[in-house]
A and B are shown apart, each in its own frame.
Chain A
Amino acid sequence: MANLKSIKKRIVSVKNTRQITAAMKMVSAAKLRRAQENVVAARPYAGKLAEVLERLAQSQESDASPLMVKRDGGRALLLVVTSDRGLCGGFNANLSKAAERFIKERAGEFKELSLMTIGRKGYEFLRNRHTVRKHHGNIFSTLSYQTAALIAAEVIEGYLAEEYDEVYVIYNAFKSVMTQDITLEQLLPVAPKADDLEEQATQYIYEPTKAALLDELLPKHIEVQIFKSLLESLASEHGARMTAMDSASKNATEMIGKLTLIYNRARQAAITTELMEIISGSESIKG
């Protein structure tokens, strides 16, 4: 029976697909654990650095570093962090759309907006719609602090050369395996959290000087911010892929069940017809 055979074939093919999605899920789960550990490991560093920065920035009104001065040129740079690979649900599409929305909403405010994309998917989505100044691809498989430092150096260089006046970063922050939060942060100019006016209890000894320390610390701060967003994005990506592959495997199982049912019915129908033919045949011989 041609029909029976084709159903059988589909069952086999869906089973193969399920095997692949199940394997991808396992791989993502393993990678997710690693990525999650990295996110957690990077948090104390980022937190402490922010603390030090705040303390330094507080009583620093005069001759602020160029990285903290607000300029009103109205040219902005947006860093869009997506993944290099697909098959992770709405992960990249959601982020690209959010970036698009941001660009539209703030179109009146900015005279000019250029993009820097990190991750192939975002680049492919945005390159035909907006000016992409620079694209970094293929960094997630070997993500290290150095990568973030390089990107940061580039961003800062452009900022100091006054190619843009504000820098934002948009990325998927890791909330849990199931959920990612699209987060938009301002990188430059650096705006430390609002000064609480209370006098500082302890007077620090600064070596060499406060201004010199701040000058050194600000680029570090940018690096850490970028590193953090890359790590978060990577963890989110694996989380998203794991969830997507999990539901794909579930769907495949469901589909196999349905197809098997159809297959069995068709088989039974075929047997019944055959039996009928045999019976009616023998009846006619008897007669």
Chain B
Amino acid sequence: MAEKLKVELVTPYKKVLSEEVDEITATGALGEFGVLPGHAPFLTSLKIGELAYKKDGVMVHMALNWGYFEVENDTVTVLVETAERADEIDLERAKAAMGRAEQELKSLTPEDKNFRIQEAALERALIRVQVVSKAARR
């Protein structure tokens, strides 16, 4: 495996990642997808979801919040609002946020303006918990 993907992950606050990886998977607008070296040029939006990449046989998991994913010439550019590595996530906080969002959702109707906001909060919390548990299993 001589070929590698060059990954750059940037948020408005900093460049989170700039590494050479073997493969990368993420959650796109139409579902999860994986990218290996030699992929065709590709541009998609990302949903709140998980990003995982493999480097030297080690999987690293991250929780992402809204963004873009671009592949060109084995260079992957990921633009996201927030990105957290599994070891940066506060599991207790995520679980608390999950409970809170669930509570809120119960009292709201889908027409409510806050419904979407709470739903997104729930999604984010779920992904965080998921990412942490995946990283722990490894």
**Which residues of A are in contact with B by a Cβ distance under 8 Å?**
38, 41-42, 44-46, 48-49, 52, 55-56, 145, 202-208, 212-213, 216-217, 224, 227
Within 8 A of A (CB), among B10-31: 10-15, 28-30
- Are the CB atoms of B81 and A204 closer together than 8 Å? no
* 19 contacts across the A-B interface (CB closer than 8 A): A42-B12, A44-B10, A45-B10, A46-B12, A48-B10, A49-B68, A49-B79, A52-B70, A56-B43, A145-B12, A203-B41, A204-B42, A205-B42, A206-B44, A207-B30, A207-B45, A208-B30, A208-B44, A213-B43
Q: Which of B12, B43, B44, B45 touches A45 (beta carbons < 8 Å)?
A: B12
Q: A52-B43, A205-B40 are in contact. Are A45 and B11 (CB under 8 A)?
A: yes
B-side interface size class: 20 to 34
Which of A48, A203, A217 has the most chain B CB atoms closer than 10 A to its own CB? A48
- Are the CB atoms of B77 and A145 closer together than 8 Å? no
Q: A45-B79, A48-B77, A217-B68 are in contact. Are A207 and B12 (CB under 8 A)?
A: no
Smallest beta-carbon distance B56→chain A, Å: 25
- Please name the 4 residue pairs, one residue from A and one from B, whose CB atoms are nearest each other, closest first: A207-B44, A41-B14, A202-B41, A204-B41
- Are the CB atoms of A206 and B43 closer together than 8 Å? yes
CB-CB nearest in chain A for B80 = A45
Contacts of A145 in B (CB 8 A): 12-13, 81
Known A44-B10, A204-B43, A227-B12; further 10 A-B contacts with Cβ < 8 A: A45-B10, A49-B68, A202-B72, A204-B41, A207-B29, A208-B30, A213-B43, A213-B44, A213-B45, A213-B68
Contacts of A42 in B (CB 8 A): 12-13
Within 8 A of A (CB), among B30-53: 30, 40-45
Q: How many A-B residue pairs have CB under 8 A?
A: 65
Smallest beta-carbon distance B71→chain A, Å: 9
- Are the CB atoms of B13 and A205 closer together than 8 Å? no
Q: How far is the CA of A202 from the CA of B15 in the complex (A)?
A: 26
Q: A41-B15, A145-B13, A217-B68 are in contact. Are A52 and B79 (CB under 8 A)?
A: yes
CB-CB nearest in chain A for B72 = A202
Contacts of B8 in A (CB 8 A): 44, 48
Q: Mark B70-96, 1 if CB is under 8 A from A, else 0.
A: 101000010101000000000000000
Q: How far is the CA of A177 from the CA of B54 in the complex (A)?
A: 42
Contacts of B28 in A (CB 8 A): 207
Contacts of B11 in A (CB 8 A): 45
Q: How far is the CA of A44 from the CA of B44 in the complex (A)?
A: 19
Q: A45-B10, A45-B79, A202-B72 are in contact. Are A207 and B15 (CB under 8 A)?
A: no
Q: How far is the CA of A145 from the CA of B79 in the complex (A)?
A: 14
Q: Which of A44, A205, A216, A227 touches B41 (beta carbons < 8 Å)?
A: A205
- Are the CB atoms of B12 and A205 closer together than 8 Å? no
Q: How far is the CA of A212 from the CA of B44 in the complex (A)?
A: 10
Q: How far is the CA of A42 from the CA of B10 in the complex (A)?
A: 9
Contacts of A48 in B (CB 8 A): 8, 10, 77, 79
Contacts of B81 in A (CB 8 A): 145
Contacts of A44 in B (CB 8 A): 8, 10, 15
